[in-house]
Chains A and B, each alone.
Chain A
Amino acid sequence: MKTISQFLAFVKKEFYHIFRDTRTMLIIIGIPVIQILIIGFAISTEVKNVKIAVYDPSNDISTQKIINRLSSSDHFLFVQHLKSTEEVEGVFKKGKIGMAIIFGSNFNEHLLHTGEASVQLIADATDPNQGLVATVYASSIIADYQQELMQALEIPIQIIPEIRMLYNPEMRSAYNFVPGLMGMIFMLICAMMTSVAIVREKETGTMEVLLTSPVKPIYIIISKMVPYFIISWFIFIIILLMSVFVLKVPVSGSLLWLNVFTLIFIVVALSLGLFISTMVNTQVAAILFSGMGLIMPVMIFSGFIFPIESMPKILQYFSCIIPARWFISGARKLMIEDVEVRYVLKEMFILTGMAIGILVVSLKNFKTRLE
């Protein structure tokens, strides 16, 4: 009983520390919200004025009508006619266009006689979202034309748009940003804040007093982690709500498992923070360590920004020790791809293992270091 009330007294104190430090509070709550909003604008699905170039060897009534419709929509801006298909790569590389439209020869004739004609849409998918949306818009404009023509001719015809994505064939959708961002935010809040909170007590000298008290070090540590754990969960819920209602990212998977999975990752991040706090003695060092040692690798090696698959092999192996890599991959599956939980068991086991490993090492370190 006594230990529980001792423990609760500690947790309460930690909450006071957090809530009274307005700067910290702003960081904790503000950063996730702002980042989500910024990224929300970045993945805005509104695509306008995509520059297009056309290769039209047929130059007949159908192709002209299609080109006219594309050009007259807000989404596209006609830039130039191409003389041959060889020119396509060149104009893309010069950055002149965002999409190329390649008609087959004798387009109209094919359409009327065989009822089928094909058009190739080649999009620059460096920005995957824009590339995808552009092809979707173009396809629907073409489909509209096909529909009208069919009604006029009263014979079945079909224009088959053949879509190719240049530069980013995997189409890493910007939806991936949400899990990636969560990975980063939790590293920031859990790891950085926990390490700073513990190191601060070392700096001010209160840690010494706590350690001369009968309270076991493990309680001191856990009571430091509890508030950040709760706050992180709260932030996770904010991010989820914002993703669904502001960014319209579909959260299609099991909410229960998504929560469980995220909480495991939060524990990993908290233990990393604890680990850092056993290594350093000043708050500045704690911030540097968690900034350079945790947040940078998360951005670079977790697959948040740069696809892991396209990294050199050695960096791919290195990315395996970055917890956020597994979190992002699992969260993506659970949130966006809506897979059953058994497909993320691997990620879950790895993260749980990491949490236990780091926790054990840092608890051992914590005791000896303060001597």
Chain B
Amino acid sequence: MSIVIETQELTKKFGAFTAVDHISFSVEKGEIFGFLGANGAGKTTAMRMLCGLSKPTSGKGFVAGYNIEKESEMVKKNIGYMSQKFSLYEDLKVWENIRLYAGIYGVDGKLIPRKTDETLSKIGLSGEKNSMVKELPLGWKQKLAFSVAILHEPRIVFLDEPTGGVDPITRRQFWEMIYEATERGITVFVTTHYMDEAEYCSRVSIMVDGRIDALDTPHNLRTQFSAQNMDEVFRRLARKAKRMDT
């Protein structure tokens, strides 16, 4: 197995506040890496550094083999990103959004129409090709946003709370899409609040106050903390947090 994400003592400070505190971990190709933590634990900041949106204060990080600080252009070419907020354009039609992102990631113009149809039929939205995105229900939008994020076949896709506010059935379908993506060799780096989702991950890291307090497979974590489920593991760790919920 090859390593696609690696960090060494990665740190981000905002003034006196240390949002991410010397975290080191690595993610292997094809993994679903769950990134858990309470609000304000530093998940989003860590993810933003890995995506090249934010510069680390100290420490190193490599994504797809490229240094996140010095080679962020190359990093960006190899990743997909789905932000916490809805990341498609509400006032563009479904196909226009796909076309735009395909264009941004340099997908060959001739391939775009075919890719669009494939993507839409895969998520069952072929009939909505000409709808405005704002008219779609949230669950559909999230599925569409995910398809768009992996349209250019990135090596890694970063998902920042992709299923927030989505109903259980759609969440289930969403995770099926994630599995399908990993079968194609895409590594998934996902943050979530839902502990049942944490069970779906290959490995899970739990952040508390900017540090990674636990990192293992869900099964091992449950054994380690002699807990029934991930929810219990999480609550045990998160209780130690000193930071206020933000």
A6 to B158, CA, bound (A): 22
Task: State whether the Cβ of B91 lies closer than 8 Å to any Cβ in chain A.
Answer: yes
Q: Which of A2, A13, A213, A214 makes the CB contact (< 8 A) with B89?
A: A13
B interface: dominant SS: loop
Q: Among B47-55, B197-205, B210-218, which stretch is in contact with chain A?
A: B47-55
Q: Give the Cβ gap from A164 to chain B, nearest Cβ, in Å.
A: 60
Q: Which of A17, A204, A210, A213 makes the CB contact (< 8 A) with B85?
A: A204
Q: Which residue of B lies closest to A201 (CB)?
A: B89
Is A6 a contact of B77 with CB atoms below 8 Å?
no
| Given A6-B104, A16-B92, A212-B76, also A371-B54 (CB < 8 A) | yes
Is A212 a contact of B53 with CB atoms below 8 Å?
yes
Task: State whether the Cβ of A209 lies closer than 8 Å to any Cβ in chain B.
Answer: yes
Q: Which residue of B lies closest to A220 (CB)?
A: B104
Q: Which residue of B lies closest to A18 (CB)?
A: B91
- For residues 39 through 69 of chain B, which have their beta carbon under 8 Å from a beta carbon of chain A? 51-55
Is B83 a contact of A208 with CB atoms below 8 Å?
yes
A55 to B87, CA, bound (A): 77
Q: Which of B55, B77, B79, B85 makes the CB contact (< 8 A) with A371?
A: B55
Which chain B residues border A16 with CB–CB below 8 Å? 91-92, 96
Which chain A residues border B171 with CB–CB below 8 Å? none
Which of A9, A206, A209, A370 has the most CB atoms of chain B within a 10 A radius of its CB?
A209
Q: Which of B55, B91, B92, B103 makes the CB contact (< 8 A) with A6?
A: B103
Task: State whether the Cβ of A215 lies closer than 8 Å to any Cβ in chain B.
Answer: yes
Task: State whether the Cβ of A342 lies closer than 8 Å to any Cβ in chain B.
Answer: no
Q: Give the Cβ gap from A292 to chain B, nearest Cβ, in Å.
A: 28
A99 to B99, CA, bound (A): 68
Which chain A residues border B82 with CB–CB below 8 Å? 209
Is B87 a contact of A5 with CB atoms below 8 Å?
no
Which chain B residues border A214 with CB–CB below 8 Å? 73, 76-77, 104-106
* Chain B positions 78 through 95: 1 when the CB is less than 8 Å from some CB of chain A, otherwise 0: 010111111111111000
Is A213 a contact of B104 with CB atoms below 8 Å?
yes
Is B83 a contact of A205 with CB atoms below 8 Å?
yes
Task: State whether the Cβ of B165 lies closer than 8 Å to any Cβ in chain A.
Answer: no
Is B84 a contact of A210 with CB atoms below 8 Å?
no
Q: Which residue of B lies closest to A368 (CB)?
A: B55
Which chain A residues border B158 with CB–CB below 8 Å? 212
| Given A204-B86, A212-B52, also A5-B109 (CB < 8 A) | yes
Task: State whether the Cβ of B166 lies closer than 8 Å to any Cβ in chain A.
Answer: no
Is A9 a contact of B88 with CB atoms below 8 Å?
no
Task: State whether the Cβ of A360 lies closer than 8 Å to any Cβ in chain B.
Answer: no
Q: Give the Cβ gap from A277 to chain B, nearest Cβ, in Å.
A: 17
A286 to B117, CA, bound (A): 39
Q: Which residue of B lies closest to A9 (CB)?
A: B103
Task: State whether the Cβ of B138 lies closer than 8 Å to any Cβ in chain A.
Answer: no
Is B91 a contact of A21 with CB atoms below 8 Å?
yes
| Given A17-B91, A211-B53, A213-B76, also A205-B85 (CB < 8 A) | yes
Q: Which residue of A lies closest to B87 (CB)?
A: A209
Is A209 a contact of B96 with CB atoms below 8 Å?
no
Is A9 a contact of B105 with CB atoms below 8 Å?
no
A5 to B85, CA, bound (A): 27
Is A204 a contact of B90 with CB atoms below 8 Å?
yes
* Chain B positions 102 through 119: 1 when the CB is less than 8 Å from some CB of chain A, otherwise 0: 011110010000000000
| Given A6-B103, A13-B92, A205-B85, also A212-B55 (CB < 8 A) | no
Which chain B residues border A17 with CB–CB below 8 Å? 89, 91-92
- Write 6 A-B pairs (CB below 8 A) sorted by A numbering: A5-B103, A16-B92, A212-B76, A212-B158, A213-B76, A213-B104
* Cβ-closest 6 pairs across A and B: A205-B85, A9-B103, A212-B81, A209-B87, A214-B76, A212-B51
Given contacts A206-B89, A214-B73, A214-B76, 10 further A-B contacts (CB under 8 A): A6-B103, A6-B106, A17-B89, A208-B81, A208-B85, A209-B83, A210-B104, A212-B52, A212-B53, A370-B53
